[in-house]
Amino acid sequence: MTASELQNQVCREWTEKLLAMTKEMRRRDLSFHLGSEQTRNDTPSPMDLADVEEIKHAFGTAGFDGRVYYQAVDYFIRSKVEPFQAVLNTWMRGAKANVNAGKVPFTEVITWCQDIGDNQARSALAKEVRSICAFLAPFSYASWKALLNVLEHDLGYPEYIAFCEEKRDVSLAVSGSHAQDFLSDTRETYRGLIDPWLNTVTGLSLKDASRFDAIYLLGLRYLDHLFPQGLTIEKIVSFFREWGMDLGNPALHIHSEGIPGRQSYCIPVDIPGEVHVILGPLHGWLDMESLFHELGHALSFIYTDPSLPPEEKDFFQSGALSEAFAFLFQRMCMSREFLQEILGLSSENAQTVSRAHVLKWLTLTRRYGAKLVIEVENFRLGRLKKGQSLYSEVMGRETCFYYDPETYLFDLMPDFYSLDYFQAFIGSACLREYLNQAAGDDWILNPETGSILHHWWRNGNRLDLSAFLQETLDRPLESGPFIKVNQYDLGS
Ligand SMILES: [Zn+2]
């Protein structure tokens, strides 16, 4: 065997091994989220630093080959940080907020706030959550410290930002400044809309409102009396049939269980062969939004070309493209056209629900834009715990709701996922604008939309979101379509 044949064989073996590990990890996540304990003993052998070094040597750190290396790095980091995360999870599971003689589990605070229309109860909860976060912060901090230590001491990345930039092939400074621009461009519109909306729904004014009131406002439960009675997942399945998509596909598993509003997930155990969607029962708008969001992920995975190599479908370092498909669907199902034409709402009711959703969308996009700005600045200055004052200040300014500094670490996602979300909100509007132009104003009802989506999804995760927009649609990732599409809806 020649040196290069040997090298090829080494690469093939590592790729296969990492693919098996990735699937096993996703299967563990699936068991965890379905509430079944891990009983399998065939957890893959741990990866040590020498393995990571060998993979780095064999694949390098750039392009598609580099994705194999970063997949190994992620696996290595996860195995080192998991014990700290497990301690945090145990404490989080035990923590409860006392509100009006009842107990709200810390892990269910968001669902609880979405349901509770009593302003005073939410305000009492906010105080309790502050104390719980202050108590739990050292455990979250330990988990972050473990991550940064592994990066610096084992992997030789002294700076978190530099590591994330290299891994994702992106400039976080540039992305942060795009988010700044978006915040400036939409600030005035947002401020003019958010106060009257909050006031109409809750009677509160912004100066007295916290992020927990925002969660209630965005949960839209107070509009659930307009939700069509008896709407079932089967009815939604029939909508997708118009696009030539079969939700009865054996690769797709929908688990609709637990409480309404529970955190939903899409877990692609094997792309495209086995994809799971986990969500609560379909009781209201929020549940339907979750369903469409997760289906955006799931359908894009099950219609991926099975012959793509793992580097182009299973190993991807940015979730933005998949999130953009998810947001495209989520926003679509709450549009006036969908509510009226597919769900049969009256034009007045469709207008009420879709208008609320446009405001929700702007609020969420600004929230993730602000988070991105804060995280880039805090990590640039090496601030972890100390980053909480900037967090409270910027979130307060940009969302107009009060954010407790103590909650910072619990609102901080690893790997700059705030960038993925922010880009996906913006990018999904670019996708929508394209569909509008290519399949017409009635793109939601046009079977042509289904063919375009199939075509997009075949390529899996070969491209990240910006490259996808540029290469497939010949347009940049920019916020113009987001602002245009959503202002159009607001004014109508
Ligand atoms: Zn998602």
If you write DSSP's letter for every residue of 289-316 in order, what string do you get? HHHHHHHHHHHHHHTS-TTS-HHHHT--
| Average pLDDT of every residue of the chain | 93
Over 50: is that where the pLDDT of 492 sits?
A: no
- Decide the pairing of beta strands 274-279 and 252-256: parallel
Rounded to the nearest angstrom, the distance between the alpha carbon of 124 and the centre of ligand 1 is 30
Summarize pLDDT for 277-286 with one digit per residue, the tens. 999 999 999 9
Note if the bond before 272 is cis, omega within 30 degrees.
Answer: yes
pLDDT at 246: 86
Q: Is residue 362 in some structural domain?
A: yes
Over 60: is that where the pLDDT of 488 sits?
A: no
Rounded to the nearest angstrom, the distance between the alpha carbon of 300 and the centre of ligand 1 is 12
Summarize pLDDT for 369-405 with one digit per residue, the tens. 999 999 999 999 999 989 999 999 999 999 999 999 9
Number of domains present in the structure of the chain:
1
Per-residue confidence at 2, pLDDT binned at 50, 70, 90? confident
Rounded to the nearest angstrom, the distance between the alpha carbon of 265 and the centre of ligand 1 is 7
pLDDT at 238: 86
Over 70: is that where the pLDDT of 487 sits?
A: no
Rounded to the nearest angstrom, the distance between the alpha carbon of 329 and the centre of ligand 1 is 11
Rounded to the nearest angstrom, the distance between the alpha carbon of 323 and the centre of ligand 1 is 5
Rounded to the nearest angstrom, the distance between the alpha carbon of 322 and the centre of ligand 1 is 7
Q: Is residue 346 in some structural domain?
A: yes
Q: Is residue 246 in some structural domain?
A: yes
B/e letters for 434-453, b = 16+ CB within 10 Å, e = fewer, are bbbeebeeebbbbeebbebb
Rounded to the nearest angstrom, the distance between the alpha carbon of 381 and the centre of ligand 1 is 29
Q: Is residue 285 in some structural domain?
A: yes
Comparing C-alpha atoms, which of 427, 403, 375, 366 is closest to residue 186? Answer: 366
Of all residues in the chain, the percent with pLDDT exceeding 90 is: 86
Per-residue confidence at 5, pLDDT binned at 50, 70, 90? confident
Interhelix angle 3-33/49-59, nearest 10 degrees:
130
Q: 358 and 193 in contact (C-beta within 8 Å)?
A: no
Rounded to the nearest angstrom, the distance between the alpha carbon of 293 and the centre of ligand 1 is 6
pLDDT at 26: 93
Over 80: is that where the pLDDT of 38 sits?
A: no
Summarize pLDDT for 135-174 with one digit per residue, the tens. 999 999 999 999 999 999 999 999 999 999 999 999 999 9
Summarize pLDDT for 44-55 with one digit per residue, the tens. 567 899 999 999
Over 60: is that where the pLDDT of 42 sits?
A: no
Which residue has better confidence, 257 or 213?
213
**105 three-state secondary structure:** strand
Q: Is residue 185 in some structural domain?
A: yes
Q: Is residue 416 in some structural domain?
A: yes
What CATH number is given to the structural domain containing 476? 1.10.1370.30
Per-residue confidence at 489, pLDDT binned at 50, 70, 90? low
pLDDT at 486: 72
Q: Is residue 128 in some structural domain?
A: no
Supply the range of the domain harboring residue 188: 172-491
Q: Is residue 439 in some structural domain?
A: yes
Reported pTM: 0.95
